[in-house]
């Protein structure tokens, strides 16, 4: 009985420590994934800021071109004003589509990273729960010693440690 109690203490404690270390690794993995998600978000915000600046510059350039074309072709049908307006609209549309694609890719990557972090945190919680089971087993072994079920001091049916009475 004493050997069983001692084994329970050792194995339970060892298992609890191992699960705690595993949980710690998973927590670090989650933290790294979440930090990477924050970096992706920051980069996307910077891209959005720069895209807004480029859009403003592009729109200003288009307005200037339209004014210059209008000044050159006053009253002429099929003038360069029409061509300029059509071309500038296509440029703005293409730029908007490229930006939307980049934003969509960044959002998907950020979502993937956050899911990786959530999965790692879930595994860490599972490891901690398993570690608690090991702690409970260890506590049972210690309780056997402290209540006198083993060791000869409690009047139980078992003998002392080592088999001598």
Q: Provide the residue ranges of all domains of the chain, joining segments of one domain with +.
A: 2-146
Residue 106 confidence (pLDDT) above 60? yes
Residue 28: the pLDDT is 92
Q: What is the mean pLDDT of residues 59-64?
A: 83
Q: At what angle do helices 2-72 and 80-146 cross, to 10 degrees?
A: 170
Q: Report which of 128, 115, 113, 114 is spatially closest to residue 25, judged by C-alpha positions.
A: 128
User: Cβ of 158: how many Cβ atoms within 10 Å?
Assistant: 18
Residue 86 confidence (pLDDT) above 60? no
**Span 10-28, pLDDT tens digits:** 888 888 888 889 999 999 9
Q: Which residues of 77-103 are buried (b: 16+ CB within 10 A; e: fewer)?
A: eeebbeebbeebeeeeeeeeeebeeee
Poorest-pLDDT segment among 32-36, 37-41, 61-65: 61-65
Token output for 124? 């860490």
The average confidence (pLDDT) of the chain is 77
Residue 156: the pLDDT is 47
């Amino acid at each position: 009985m004493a050997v069983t109690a001692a084994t329970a203490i050792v194995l339970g404690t060892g298992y609890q420590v191992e699960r705690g270390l595993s949980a710690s690794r998973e927590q670090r993995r989650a933290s790294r994934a979440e930090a990477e998600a924050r970096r992706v978000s920051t980069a996307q915000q910077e891209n959005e800021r720069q895209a807004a600046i480029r859009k403003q510059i592009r729109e200003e350039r288009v307005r200037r071109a339209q004014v210059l074309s209008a000044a050159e072709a006053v009253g002429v049908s099929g003038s360069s004003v029409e061509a300029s307006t059509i071309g500038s609209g296509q440029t703005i549309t293409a730029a908007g589509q490229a930006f939307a694609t980049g934003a969509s890719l960044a959002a998907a990557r950020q979502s993937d990273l956050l899911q990786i972090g959530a999965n790692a945190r879930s595994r860490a919680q599972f490891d901690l729960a398993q570690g608690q089971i090991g702690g409970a087993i260890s506590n049972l072994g210690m309780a056997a010693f402290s209540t006198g079920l083993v060791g000869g001091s409690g009047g139980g049916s078992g003998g002392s440690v080592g088999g001598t009475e």
